[in-house]
Amino acid sequence: MKSATAKVAIVTGAGSGIGRAVSLALLGSGWSVALAGRRAALLDETAAMAGEAADRALPCATNVAEPASVAALFEATKARFGRLDLLFNNAGTGAPPVPLEELSFDQWKRVVDVNLTGAFLCTQAAFRLMKDQDPRGGRIINNGSISAHVPRPRSVAYTATKHAITGLTRSTSLDGRAYGIACGQIDIGNAATEMTKAMGKGHGVMQANGSIAPEAVMDVSAVADAVLYMAALPPEANVQFMTVMATAMPFIGRG
């Protein structure tokens, strides 16, 4: 059933963590949301968590690294909702924290395929849909990460792709201007999800000097609120870059 009033979003990586939190925030604010991710069961869980808003959720099992899978996602979204107002490029993966010289080609390629090629394929599909719809245009938000600015030790693949996302954001913002397509980037530091559970008290993460130390984390709802703010801006306004991070995490300074 097509929605006559709700704005429409696609969220990749919607089955867990930041993607799930953002999807639920959008659904709770009246959006219709296509939930994209590799595991259908987790997408169904996200939809169920939306309660009465679940009828505006469309779970779509998707491999963002595969062009045909991405095409099917966008076709399903258009068929169900009629248009697309927001793409949140959030799907991402990492590689084992091994020394740079020990990272295998397959490990490198998997991270590049998901984090960079996947974001590009989704952006390309969004352009095709947004430039031809009426009213024309829309918004793309990329999850850049603090790693778009500075690396963690033994994270060459993840860091390289997140630096590349900044280039994708800039090019998308420029090339989308002619079609009313805005693009911004949110760089997130230490949101409390399953992926960052080992960072907190009683655990720790490798620091630049090789030591292991716990780091401050923030509630993932702060990220969802920030994305919701970016998404709700009028077409003539855009947040080009935003950093949302745990206040006490060791990012600013030499710590």
Count of CA atoms in the C-beta half-sphere (13 A) of 205? 19
Residue 251, in any domain of the structure: no
Give residue 124's domain range: 8-245
Mean pLDDT score, 37-43:
98
| Alpha carbons 123 and 62: distance in angstroms, whole number | 15
- DSSP one-letter string for the chain: ---SSS-EEEEETTTSHHHHHHHHHHHHTT-EEEEEES-HHHHHHHHHHTGGGGGGEEEEE--TTSHHHHHHHHHHHHHHHS---EEEE----------GGG--HHHHHHHHIIIIIHHHHHHHHHHHHHHHSSS--EEEEEE--GGGTSPPTT-HHHHHHHHHHHHHHHHHHHHHGGGTEEEEEEEEE-EESGGGGGGSTT--EE-TTS-EE----EETHHHHHHHHHHHTS-TT----EEEEE-TTSTTSS--
Mean pLDDT score, 47-59:
98
- Give the active site residue among 31, 74, 88, 158: 158
Residues 6+ apart with CB under 8 A from 59: 35, 40, 43, 44, 46, 47
Give the pLDDT score at 135. Answer: 96
Q: Does residue 19 have a pLDDT over 70?
A: yes
**Cα-to-chain-centroid distance, residue 74:** 16
Residue 126, in any domain of the structure: yes
| Alpha carbons 116 and 92: distance in angstroms, whole number | 9
Q: How many Cβ atoms sit within 10 Å of the Cβ of residue 82?
A: 13
Single-letter amino acid code for the residue at 18: I
How many separate domains does the chain show?
Answer: 1
Residue 132, in any domain of the structure: yes
- Mean pLDDT (the chain, rounded): 94
Give the pLDDT score at 6. Answer: 83
Residue 137, in any domain of the structure: yes
pLDDT (tens digit, 9 = 90+) per residue, 71-90? 999 999 999 999 999 999 99
Give the pLDDT score at 254. Answer: 64
The larger pLDDT score, comparing residue 253 to residue 128, is at 128
Give the pLDDT score at 3. Answer: 43
Give the pLDDT score at 91. Answer: 97
Which residues make beta-bridge pairs with 87? 10, 140
- The model's confidence at residue 5, banded by pLDDT at 50, 70 and 90, is low
pLDDT (tens digit, 9 = 90+) per residue, 204-252? 888 988 899 999 999 999 999 999 999 999 999 999 999 999 999 999 9
Closest CA to 74 of 66, 83, 153, 65: 83
Q: Does residue 253 have a pLDDT over 80?
A: yes
CATH code of residue 112: 3.40.50.720
pLDDT (tens digit, 9 = 90+) per residue, 166-181? 999 999 999 999 999 9
Phi, psi of 198 (to 5 degrees): -75, -5
5-9, 14-18, 64-68: the lowest-pLDDT one: 5-9
- The model's confidence at residue 1, banded by pLDDT at 50, 70 and 90, is very low
Residue 255, in any domain of the structure: no
End-to-end, the C-alpha distance of the chain in Å comes to: 53
Give the pLDDT score at 201. Answer: 66
Residue 2, in any domain of the structure: no
Residue 250, in any domain of the structure: no
Residue 13, in any domain of the structure: yes
Q: Does residue 255 have a pLDDT over 80?
A: no
Mean pLDDT score, 35-47:
98
pLDDT (tens digit, 9 = 90+) per residue, 191-211? 988 777 677 666 788 898 889
Tell me whether residue 158 is one of the annotated catalytic residues.
yes
| Alpha carbons 230 and 232: distance in angstroms, whole number | 6
- The model's confidence at residue 4, banded by pLDDT at 50, 70 and 90, is very low
